Amino acid sequence: MIVKVVIDIPAKQVNRSFDYAVPKDWESAIKLGSRVQVPFGNMKRTGFVVDITDETEFNGKLKPIHSIMDYDVFLNEELIELSDYLAEYLQCFRISVLQAMLPSLLKAKYDAIVQIHDPVQFSEKVGSWYQNETSIDRKVLEERISPNAISQLKKENIISIEYQVINQTTQKTKTMIKTNLNKDQLMNALEKTSQRSFKQRAILEYFINNQAIESIEKSTLMTELEVSNATINSAIDKEWITTFKEMIYRDPLKDVSFQTNSSKTLLAEQQNAYDLISQSVDNKQADTYLIEGVTGSGKTEIYLQLMDRALQQGKSALLLVPEISLTPQMVERVVSRFQTGIAVLHSGLSITEKYDEWQRIIKGEAKIVVGARSSIFAPLENIGIIIIDEEHETTYKQSDNPRYHARDVARWRSEYHDAPLILGSATPSLESRARAQVGNYHLIHLENRVNQMPMPPVDIIDMTQVELRETANELSPELIEKIQDRLDKKEQVVLLQNRRGYASYLLCRECGFIMQCPRCDISLTYHKFDNQMKCHYCDYHEPLPTQCPSCQSPHIRTHGIGTQKVAETLEEIFPEAKVTRMDNDTTRRKGQHQKLLDEFSSGQSNILLGTQMIAKGLDFENVTLVGVINADTALNLPDFRASERTFQLLTQVSGRTGRGRLAGEVVIQTYNPEHYVIQFAKTHDYENFFRFEMKRRHLTNYPPYYFTTLLTVSSKHQGRASQLAYDLKAQLYNPELERKEQLYIIGPNRNNISKINNYYYFNLLLKYKDKTTIQRQLDDILNNTQQKATQGVYVNINHEPQYFS
Ligand code: ADP
Ligand code: ZN
Ligand code: ZN
């Protein structure tokens, strides 16, 4: 037996497979996708078996593989094939894709332990050296018997092999306290402790009274007894108690109610969608459906019933969500519908927990997978349906190597399994909606909300007409009045202030003028350093004007305000209200996000103020007012998708109100009330927004009319990075293609040299009609720029980037 192995060196010279011989008594332990160690040059490297064969074109004696790394296979035949496709499609090295598909535990340092489940049989098979241990080191076993024999023992369930991470620092732990003293010893210690040392006595008394408790978390004990760290330490010194670390096990389903939630009788629109898609499930057709339906139109119910249908046919189902922590309700609904056989993959899991979930999928114990982006690589067999909820979300695009979009991977897997792919959203990405327009996707509209409630009315406040008081800088009198009204009624308010509130853009407070790049149709960004307005795509720049170029008003300003400032203003105006602020600063610590949400949902606070993280998935009955402090911050993003993102954001945040019995209302403050995005958001009119935005993209040559690829050159040496960026542009430049409007190259942008962690970045943006025209050149760039990497200059190729800076 001969195996073809891809080696773990991401480089051109080894971006192919190498042949190795497999010793006879190893053969049954090797499968497609196995990880092996092989001799390579004079090194030992890890690799993946991507093919098993009997032939080789290699002249000479093949080296045998050195060792087998896993007796389980984590990548099945499908994923091996997919890795080949993706490497080519994304223009990255195949090994990078293979590694991205692997559960992260296998990239950590771990020990492999053989658990012996049946010592009697085990002893019979391995002989007298075995001393009845319940587990032994894998290496010990491998010295005694052949891989084939190990594989056989595993198959017969006599043993299993478990991985234990050696370096646990990446895992979340908590400090626990226990006592080594028995009750008498504790009583003894208590007698010897002065009555006045009541804190010390409290600790002893706690353990005397709670004999049944083995251990308690240190922080819990501290709060419960109101004792300090010093008291704890002194108790440790006296050897009453000891501390130890314990892993925090985050059961993703912990807080989920296991109530059953049976299927609902579908409404006409839902039924129609279900009937169409279920035909594709039944007939094994790899169709893609785009379900465009406002929040509350019953999309999730359709997903659940379709998943059920696939399961009933013995197939599996994959459901992607943007981010599990932001969409707890989705997980809850899947679990309460199906109860068991569900793997939930999310970032809160430790790598060991993720690995366990992966194992359940491989063993077929979990036929439903719910997870974020990387779950698209879940090793499910026989997939019957793939669903991507909120398909427009940018989290589906991986920004690091391999820079895949889950939607593209989903398409491939859908075809591999002959299973339909469902994309759902209230505000589909322009790309997807355009594909539906030309018939590549089937478009399904859900026009009505299940509860028949209308969408909330949206009030646009023209901020150019608002006389701004010093204190209430960002809040119009209308908004202040409405907030007060809700506070009086004991209802709740959600306020959105965009994350990039601090991003520097030019705003005329008289007329709302937004300064644009004349070539790129994106907003110019203010650079304080040299007082210039600059384009983030191309070379364009001009000095900061002293008055508004449009209305000549001197009231222009170059900065937005952040959530902190707004929070302060709110506290000033509404001293009686409690404000929960949610942004990158207040949610940096793990668990903080949930804590703040709990604070708001339990009614402890009246106003939830936050960045776009509050726009998603939240569902609070008592919220009757949603306010957008300044819609222009999003409109001013230096990104050609700024309009699309703003529309999505406004629509999404509007959906946070009027969900319960109480009617809701939305207030949007803007300096550009006539802007088409604001106007279409006011009427929740996605379809007309789509048409308008498509025209604009057409005029300015952006997706979906053109494909885009971002080349980023980075180096600590500014000169070398810049040089290479210009060289690449020269290499790619093709007057013929440009004349035919087939290829445009924008940049490199000299004026916007950004320096992050001492690296200089230069961007080239390619816009093209047909990838084949540049595919080979990009392949060459991928391959040839590696020599540059040794000189400290790096090149990234990012197809269809979601962000540009
Ligand atoms: P979406 O995913 O489009 O936001 P959901 O599927 O969550 O919509 O539906 C909104 C609400 O209506 C949910 O509470 C859901 O349980 C309920 N619902 C959905 N479909 C039906 C139906 N056919 N009959 C009764 N209630 C339904
Ligand atoms: Zn420009
Ligand atoms: Zn103006």
DSSP structure string for 476-490? -HHHHHHHHHHHHTT
Q: What is the dihedral of CA 193, 194, 196, 201, to 10 degrees?
A: 20
d(C-alpha 297, C-alpha 651), whole Å: 14
The pLDDT value given to residue 468: 59
From edge to edge, which strands make up the β-sheet containing 173-179? 216-217, 173-179, 241-247
- What one-character-per-residue DSSP string does 356-370 give? HHHHHHHTTS--EEE
**pLDDT band for position 805 (50/70/90)?**
low
Residue 133: its pLDDT value, please? Answer: 84
User: What tokens appear for 4 in the block?
Assistant: 């073809």
pLDDT recorded at residue 472: 52
- Say if residue 261's pLDDT is above 90: no
The CATH number assigned to the domain holding 762 equals: 3.30.70.600
Tokens of 76: 């099945």
Confirm whether 272 is domain-assigned.
Answer: yes
Residue 695 included in any domain: no
C-alpha distances (whole Å) from 490 to each of 53, 483, 598, 608, 624 are 72, 10, 17, 14, 10
In a domain, 253, yes or no: no
Q: Residue 704's pLDDT band (boundaries 50, 70, 90)? A: very high
- DSSP state letters, 18-34: EEEE--GGGGGG--TT-
Structure confidence by residue, pLDDT tens digits, 744-767: 999 887 766 666 777 888 999 999
With the most atoms of ligand 1 within 8 angstroms of its CB, the residue from 274, 300, 391, 422 to mutate is: 300
- Both 282 and 431 in one domain: the answer is yes
The amino acid sitting at 600 is: F
Buried b (16+ CB within 10 A) or exposed e, 114-134: bebeeeeebbebbeeebeeee
The answer to whether residues 666 and 457 touch, using CB atoms and an 8 Å cutoff, is: yes
- Beta-ladder partners of 514: 507
What does the alpha-carbon distance between residue 234 and residue 44 come to, in Å, rounded to a whole number? 51
DSSP label at 612? G
Shortest-distance atom of ligand 1 to CA 303: 6
pTM of structure: 0.84
| pLDDT above 90 coverage of the chain, percent | 45
> Nearest bound ligand to CA 506?
3
**Which ligand 1 atom is nearest residue 426's CA?**
3
Task: Give every CB contact of residue 330 below 8 A, 6+ residues apart in sequence.
Answer: 300, 319, 321, 370, 389, 617
Q: Which comes out higher in pLDDT, residue 660 or 39?
A: 39
387-401, 556-570, 726-740: the lowest-pLDDT one = 556-570
Closest Cα partner for 389 from 403, 406, 404, 401? 406
374 lines ligand 1 (CB under 6 A): no
Tell me, what's the pLDDT at 502?
A: 45
Atom of ligand 1 nearest to the CA of 304: 6
Burial 245-284 (b: 16+ CB within 10 A, else e): eeeeeeebeeebeeeebeeeebeebbeebbeebbebbeee
Of the two residues 164 and 312, the one the predictor is more confident about is 312
In this structure, are 274 and 406 located in the same domain? yes
Task: Give the tokens for residue 694.
Answer: 């498509």
Distance CA 331, CA 3 (A): 41
In a domain, 124, yes or no: yes
> Using a 6 Å cutoff on CB, does residue 62 contact ligand 1?
no
Residues of the chain with pLDDT > 70: what percent? 92
Predicted pLDDT at 752: 64
Answer yes or no: is 567 within a domain.
Answer: no
Q: Is residue 328 part of a domain?
A: yes
Q: Write the DSSP string, 559-591.
A: ----HHHHHHHHHHH-TT--EEEESTTTT-STT
Ligand 2 centroid vs 679 CA: distance in angstroms? Answer: 26
Q: Is 271 in the pocket of ligand 1 (CB under 6 A)?
A: no
Query: Is residue 393 domain-shared with residue 418, that is, in the same domain?
Result: yes
**How far lies 206's CA from each of 174, 182, 217, in Å?**
20, 13, 13
Select from 283, 647, 260 the least CA-distant residue to 433. 647
Residues 6+ apart with CB under 8 A from 536: 522, 525, 638, 639, 749, 752, 804, 805
Ligand nearest to the CA of 510: 3
Minimal-distance CA residue to ligand 1 atom 25: 264
Closest residue CA from atom 16 of ligand 1: 301
CA of 27 to the centre of ligand 2 (A): 59
Ligand 1 pocket, mutate which of 269, 301, 618 (most atoms under 8 A from CB):
301
Give the largest CA-CA distance in the chain. Answer: 94
Q: Do residues 54 and 123 both lie within one domain?
A: no
pLDDT at 170: 47
645-647-651-653 Cα dihedral, nearest 10 degrees = 50
Residue 242 has φ and ψ, to the nearest 5°, of -135, 160
Q: What's the confidence (pLDDT) of residue 698? A: 95
270 CB within 6 A, ligand 1? yes
The reply to whether 290 and 403 lie within a common domain is yes
At residue 154, does pLDDT exceed 60?
yes
**Strands (DSSP E) along 372-470, which ranges?**
383-389, 421-425, 442-446, 458-462
Separation in Å, CA 343 to CA 251, 360, 366, 700, 774: 11, 7, 6, 44, 40
Q: Is residue 375 part of a domain?
A: yes
**Better-scored residue on pLDDT, 209 or 200:** 200
Which of the residue ranges 400-404, 499-503, 653-657 would you say has the lowest mean pLDDT?
Answer: 499-503
As a whole number, mean pLDDT of residues 119-125 equals 89
Per mean pLDDT, which of 7-21, 199-213, 268-282 is the most reliable?
Answer: 268-282
Q: Residue 220: pLDDT band by 50, 70, 90 thresholds?
A: confident
Closest CA to 8 of 112, 132, 98, 86: 98
- 372-388, pLDDT tens digit by residue? 999 999 999 999 999 99
pLDDT at position 1: 92
Indicate which ligand has the atom closest to the C-alpha of 327.
1
Is any atom of ligand 1 closer than 6 Å to the C-beta of 161?
Answer: no
Give the residue from 660, 690, 720 where a domain finishes.
690
Q: Is the pLDDT of residue 8 over 70?
A: yes
Strand partners, 179: 241
- Ligand 3 centroid vs 644 CA: distance in angstroms? 24
- Asked if residue 284 lies in contact with residue 352, where contact means CB atoms within 8 angstroms, the answer is no
Number of domains in the chain: 7
> Does residue 246 lie in a domain region?
no
**Which residue among 658, 690, 722 closes a domain?**
690
Q: Which of the four pLDDT bands, split at 50, 70 and 90, describes residue 128? A: confident
Mean pLDDT for 87-91 is 93
Query: Across residues 182-189, what is the average pLDDT?
Result: 89
Report the separation in Å between the CA atom of 676 and the middle of ligand 2, taken as the mean of its atom positions.
22
**359 and 272 share a domain?**
yes
Mean pLDDT in residue range 231-251: 79
Phi and psi at 795, nearest 5°, equal -125, 130
Question: Which listed ligand is nearest to 619 at the C-alpha?
Answer: 1
252's CB contacts (< 8 A; 6+ apart) are 324, 331, 344, 346, 348, 349
CA 516 to ligand 3 center in whole angstroms = 13
Q: Which amino acid is at 530?
A: D
Return all residues near 133 (Cβ < 8 A) that are at least 6 apart: 116
> Residue 753's pLDDT is what?
64
Strand-pair partners of 5: 18, 49
pLDDT reading at 178 higher than 80: yes
Q: Check if 616 has its Cβ closer than 6 Å to any atom of ligand 1.
A: no
Residues 730 and 452: their CA atoms lie apart, in Å, by: 58
Residue 112 near residue 138 (C-beta atoms within 8 A): yes
Judge if the beta carbon of residue 659 lies within 6 A of ligand 1: no
800 three-class SS: coil
**Which pLDDT score is estimated for 252?**
52
Q: Ligand 3: distance of its center to the CA of 700 in Å? A: 24
Average pLDDT value for residue range 68-95: 92
Q: For residue 281, which of 146, 170, 420, 388 has the smallest C-alpha distance?
A: 420
Residue of 303 and 186 predicted with greater confidence: 303
Tell me what pLDDT residue 501 has. Answer: 39
* Comparison of pLDDT for 653 and 467, the residue scoring more: 653
Strands 216-217, 135-137: parallel, antiparallel or unpaired by DSSP? unpaired
DSSP state of 523: B
pLDDT given for residue 179 in this prediction: 87
CB proximity list for 557: less than 8 A, separation 6 or greater: 506, 507, 509
Q: Which of 91, 107, 123 is the last residue of a domain?
A: 107
CA-proximal residue: ligand 1, atom 18 (nearest): 298
Reading the block at residue 124, the tokens are 């019979």
Instruction: Write out pLDDT tens, residues 447-506.
Output: 988 888 888 899 999 988 886 555 456 889 999 999 999 999 999 999 998 754 345 677
CATH of the domain at 287: 3.40.50.300
Rounded CA-CA distance 144/150 in Å is: 10
* Beta pairing, strands 35-40 & 67-68: antiparallel
Confidence of residue 574 (pLDDT cuts 50, 70, 90): very high
d(CA 544, CA 526) in angstroms, rounded, equals: 8
Q: For residue 432, what are the domain limits?
A: 268-446
Instruction: Kindly state whether residues 495 and 608 are assigned to the same domain.
Output: yes
Asked whether residue 466 falls in the same domain as residue 515, the answer is no
Residue 57: predicted pLDDT:
86
**CA-to-CA dists, residue 718 to 127, 183, 481, 527, 793, angstroms:** 66, 69, 53, 19, 10
Atom of ligand 1 nearest to the CA of 297: 3
Structure token digits, residue 245:
């670390």
Using alpha carbons only, what angle is made at residue 792 by residues 786 and 797, rounded to the nearest 5 degrees? Answer: 50
| 77 and 20 inside one domain | yes
Average pLDDT of the residues in 217-234: 86
Same domain? 420 vs 330? yes
Q: Are residues 529 and 587 in the same domain?
A: no
Label residue 612 by pLDDT band (50, 70, 90): confident
**For residue range 299-324, what is the model confidence (pLDDT) as tens digits?**
999 999 999 999 999 999 999 998 87
Q: Which residue has the higher pLDDT, 666 or 611?
A: 666
Whether 59 and 146 share a structural domain: no
Ligand 3 centroid to residue 752 C-alpha, Å: 25
Gap from CA of 522 to ligand 2 centroid (Å)? 7
Q: What is the CATH number of the domain that holds 92?
A: 3.40.1440.60
Q: What is the pLDDT of residue 471?
A: 47
